[in-house]
Chain A
Amino acid sequence: MNTIKKAKSAINVFTRNWANFVIKFKWPVLLATLILALGLGSQGNMEFDGDYHVFFSKSNPELEAFDALQEKYTKDDNVVIVLSPSNGNIFTKENLTAIEALTAESWNTPYSSRVDAVTNFQHTSAVGDDLYVDDLSYESSLKTEAEILEIKEKALKEPLLVNRLINQAGSVAAVNITVRLPGEDINEIPGEVTPFIRNMISDFKEKHPNFQVHTSGLIPMNTAFFESSMNDMGLTMIMLFIVIITTFILTRNIWSTLATLVVVMFSIMSAMGFVGLMDIKMTPPSAVFPTMILTLAVADSIHILVTMLQKMRKDGLNKVDALKESMRLNFMPVFITSLTTVIGFLTMNFGDVPPFWDLGNITAFGMVMAFLYSTTVLPALMAIFPVKSKVKKEAVKEPKNWYTSLGNYVVKQPVRLTIISFLVIGGLTYLATKNTFNDEFINYFDETVQFRTDTDYIRDNLTGIYNIEYSIGSGESGGINNPEYLKHLNAFEDWLNDQPEVIHVNAFSEVARRVNRSMHGDDESFYRIPDNRDEAAQYLLLYELSLPFGLDLNNQINVDKSETRVTVTVDNIKSADMIAFSKKGEDWLRNNTPKPMHAMGVSPTLMFSKLGFRQADSMFKGNIIALILISLVLMLALKNFKLGLLSIIPNVTPVLVGFGIWTLYKAQINTGMVIVFGMTLGIIVDDTVHFMSKFLRARRELGYDAKQAVVYAFETVGKALVTTTIVLLAGFAVLSTSSFALNSYMARITVIIILAALIIDFILLPSLLILTSRKEEAVEKVKVGQIAFDK
């Protein structure tokens, strides 16, 4: 006890000296913090990275497998431009000419390596002993009606086109531009490819107003990521506005509002400097950091200012004394809550999704700086500003407030409230387990984002957006021409086509069949795998010699001709179904083909599908560590082991409640929500700290019994807890309006958790405090308590 007291007085001396120093040297302190903030801010450099690769860590096995596949063949980022003519028929001279022109213009797309469309499809035909491989519709403007009809017939029979570049009815067609980005400059997509595509499409629409145009693909997705980062950063302004209003309402003082604004602005400037110095690229999840910092930093300032103004208004202290007293009272709580928040955000580093590492680190740095500015520039400014306040006597209003009533209500029935709470929490915890992961990346964007609506249109009218790829080996150089290999590949292609979720299959076996048919005078009975290897190899050689620039088979066959790539387009299915489907394909290969043909399914779709599971696995350890660390901080802060342990209940249960309610709301969770445990733990623990510390103070210093101490805690910190909860709710409510689901879902569940935390801290925590204290005081203190209450 002695050492604790010593420590406590040491802290008291330290905080008093700190306050005195800051107030005495207010001008130098202001100048120093200004230089620090401006200095860091000047290093700020906001660059946005929309590449979907940012969501995957370097060691992510799905990413490694996918990159390996892309290096074996070609790296394919794409833009799909989908054209729907108003007459509902692609096959008219005007429409084909328009598509042909758009295809030709698409070759000028920066970094484009390939353009596929109905018109330039390399159609194979036999004329006598000649093999003709040519554009399906070349110089369409010169075609006759009969020729166009013939083109239509060929196109709608072509398995490589139907459900990929044209729909079955022939009313919607696509131009697919493959782009090979060097990946050297972050501006390649937003600065070069996207503007080019947008210009090209607007020119096209002007010339051909009868076409509806929709775009999707990996490049537009990257653009959507990029633009949603910028939009979410724009939420900062709304939050800033809310901060100003909230601070003004709570403090009813223009100078405090101004000082708070300086603190949060300095914190954000410093965090931006951190971003620049660490060379962090903004991504949708990390771009919300200014709003996060605003939300969390403002609480520090409000605590200090509210106490100071209270001391001036109620206790009639002069400005400097009130400021010093407020600093003394709030320094430790603000320090501890900042510390737990920082710990909570740093746990994001345990995850497997780099943008959340950035979010965690930037916000943690911002919180450290917010603590620093709240305890330096804030008091310095308040000392400088001519803050005046009338002393108000509100003695009449004081004792019977809402919080006291709530406290009295709780202490009357702790057992009942505990049981009810545990029943509700238990039920919701059960529900929480019913959530399933779904990281369908199209659904990351809500319907306000054009990428989402365009993609949905394409899904409904032409083809799927999700795919899985298998690189299927033959085990020997040149082995893809082995009829055994081709027959197995063909069987795999057929099996895939029979699966209900499959929309389109692109496999080399189709090329082998098609060329074989053309080599036999277009005889349909030869639409099968060639009989022997030499034939297959020589047909392929002939076919390859006949292909034009950019339309070769290098995207499908590796250099050694030992492996080919199978691309399966599937319907929009949930992450879990996607993983199951990919597995089903892998199993089929294992059961039906020789060993070299066994392959793993890979694709960006699959990478996203597995991301949530991977993140949850890796965050598990981080969350446990956060819980232990934060509980330790609490034990030290409260100087009580038992209460530190007890605090785990009100700190953990809000998350369970949150996910339980989420099951009733959406029942689908995404990668963004995995981080909320650690993050909200760091935030909601503040409520527990404040409540428990006031409870303990009442017991230790004022000698109250448990029930009285609970009522005292309600009276003293009830309002502060509600206030900070409102600020936090406002901040996360602003974030929940994001059009990007990783952010909006995370923010929405955080809103639920923070609200649940407050309710639990007001109902369950006090009940538990009373129940656990009962044993000790059962005998002797009952009377005392009774007396005190009767008074």
Chain B
Amino acid sequence: MKKIILILTVLITLGIQAQTPEEHGLQIAKAAEQADLGFNSSTVNLKMTLKNKNGQTSERSLTTKTLELTEDGDKSLIVFNSPKDVKGTSTLTFTHKVGSDDQWLYLPSIKRVKRISSNNKSGPFVGSEFAYEDLSSQEVEKYTYKFIEEKGSLLVVEQDPVDPKSGYTRRLVTYNKDKGYRFEKVEFYDRKNALLKTLVYSNYKLYKNKFWRASTFIMKNHQSNKETILNFSDYNFDANLSEEDFTQVALKRS
């Protein structure tokens, strides 16, 4: 009997190990998606601080609304509150699980909505160290995966972007499996596979007893020594936003 248990144990262990690193990585990404499922919608205020090598800083303040969708990627709406000359400018984004995202920008100065050419998503977001692709909704389908290692409760997974126009060859994401698979750190490798940036998440808070949200993102560019800090405040998961809040008409209103 003991022998059978032993054989079973060995078989089960082997069975788990037989999973390839690719499958394991995908499994972790899906687990993370699963853990964050069901927040419906949220709003948050964001202060973005850009720092250059000399420590000179510049600030922007924004409000972000997100609508959770399951059959396709999330929708989001970002409104600029400052600097003054772009106040009221807002972007509307429909992320797609497959293919390029759609994006519109509303310019209050001419009261017009302009669609942004969707090929370029790898450039810096308003002069910061964040590319648009770093900030957009993290859909599982946008990457291929490879499990790298496990350090205590931390899981490191390599993610290779599917989009050929991405600025990265790969990124190394550290998940915390005990805290709802939240991101702890992301390392970005550029097209020549050199470490470009590191994003560290901190001051996590648990909302609705399920959703982990970091209050601080620190993105450091190792090649230019510039840095961008995002401070999130006033998370609101009770806004009950709907599709109507994420249309071109809504964009003009915001």
Binding site for B on A (CB under 8 A): 71-72, 74, 107-113, 129-134, 180, 182, 477-478, 481, 519, 532-539, 541-542, 544-554, 557-561
B117 within 8 A of A: yes
Q: Is B56 a contact of A132 with CB atoms below 8 Å?
A: no
A539→B109 CA distance, assembly (Å)? 9
Q: Are B85 and A71 in contact (CB under 8 A)?
A: no
Q: In the complex, are the beta carbons of B120 and A133 less than 8 A apart? A: yes
Within 8 Å by CB of A131, from B56, B109, B115, B124, lies B115
Per the bound structure, the CA–CA distance linking A71 and B56 in Å amounts to 10
Given contacts A545-B123, A552-B123, are A131 and B116 in contact (CB under 8 A)? yes
Bound form: Cα–Cα A47–B123 in Å = 39
Q: Is the CB of A546 within 8 A of B191?
A: no
Chosen A-B contacts, 29 in total, with CB atoms closer than 8 Å, are A72-B52, A72-B54, A108-B191, A108-B192, A110-B194, A131-B116, A133-B120, A478-B83, A478-B85, A532-B109, A534-B85, A537-B85, A541-B86, A541-B126, A542-B116, A545-B125, A548-B120, A548-B122, A549-B123, A549-B190, A549-B191, A552-B127, A553-B127, A554-B127, A558-B52, A559-B50, A559-B57, A559-B58, A561-B58
Q: Which residues of B contact A (CB under 8 A)?
A: 50-54, 56-58, 80, 83-86, 89, 91, 103, 105, 107-110, 112-117, 119-127, 131-132, 165-167, 190-192, 194, 223-224, 226
A636 to B203 alpha-carbon distance, docked (Å): 77
How long is the Cα–Cα vector from A541 to B124 in the complex, in angstroms? Answer: 11
Contact of B224 among A107, A109, A113, A478 (CB under 8 A): A113
B226 and A559 contact, CB distance less than 8 A? yes
Selected contact of A477 from candidates B83, B91, B115, B192, CB within 8 Å: B83
In the complex, chain B residues whose CB is within 8 Å of the CB of A535:
107, 109-110
A667 to B121 CA separation, bound complex (whole angstroms): 56
Alpha-carbon distance between A19 and B89 when the two chains are bound, in angstroms: 91
For A129, list chain B residues within 8 Å (CB).
112-115
Distance between Cα atoms of A551 and B122 in the complex (Å): 10
Give A706 Cβ to nearest chain B Cβ, in Å.
70
B167 touches A548 (CB 8 A): yes
Given contacts A71-B54, A110-B192, contact A549 B131 (CB under 8 A): yes
In the bound complex, what is the Cα–Cα distance between A720 and B56 (angstroms)? 66
Please, how many angstroms separate the alpha-carbon atoms of A478 and B110 in the complex?
Answer: 19
Report chain A residues within 8 Å CB of B57: 559-560
- Measured between beta carbons, the chain A residues less than 8 angstroms from B125 are 545
Q: How far is the CA of A109 from the CA of B80 in the complex (A)?
A: 37
When C-beta atoms are compared, the residue in chain A nearest to B113 turns out to be: A129
- CB pair B191–A538 under 8 Å, yes or no, is no
The complex places the Cα of A182 from the Cα of B89 at a distance, in Å, of 37
In the bound complex, residues from chain A placing their C-beta under 8 Å from that of B126 are 541, 544-545
Contacts of B52 in A (CB 8 A): 71-72, 558-559
Q: Is the CB of B131 within 8 A of A545?
A: no
Residues of A close to B107: CB separation below 8 A = 535, 538-539, 542
Q: Given the known A-B contacts A546-B123, A548-B165, A554-B127, are A71 and B53 also in contact in the complex, defined by CB atoms under 8 Å?
A: yes
Assembled-state Cα–Cα distance A541/B165 (Å): 21
Could you say which residues of chain B place their CB within 8 Å of the CB of A481?
85
| Contact call A545/B116, Cβ cutoff below 8 A | yes
A752 to B195, CA, bound (A): 55
CA distance A112 to B190 in the complex (A): 10
Asked whether, in the complex, the Cβ of B83 is within 8 Å of the Cβ of A544, the reply is: no
In the assembled complex, the CB of A482 is this many whole angstroms from the nearest CB of chain B, namely 9
CB-defined contacts of B119 to chain A, threshold 8 Å: 134, 548
Known A-B contacts: A130-B115, A130-B117, A551-B123. Give 9 more (CB < 8 A): A519-B110, A536-B85, A538-B110, A545-B116, A545-B125, A546-B116, A550-B167, A552-B124, A561-B127
A339, chain B: closest CB distance, angstroms:
48
With contact pairs A544-B123, A560-B56 given, residues A534 and B115 touching in the complex (Cβ less than 8 Å): no
Residue of A nearest to B125 (CB): A545
Which chain B positions have C-beta within 8 A of A71? 52-54
Q: Kindly list chain A residues whose C-beta atoms are within 8 Å of the C-beta of B109.
A: 532, 534-535, 537-538
Query: For A559, what are the chain B residues with a Cβ–Cβ distance below 8 Å?
Result: 50-52, 56-58, 127, 226
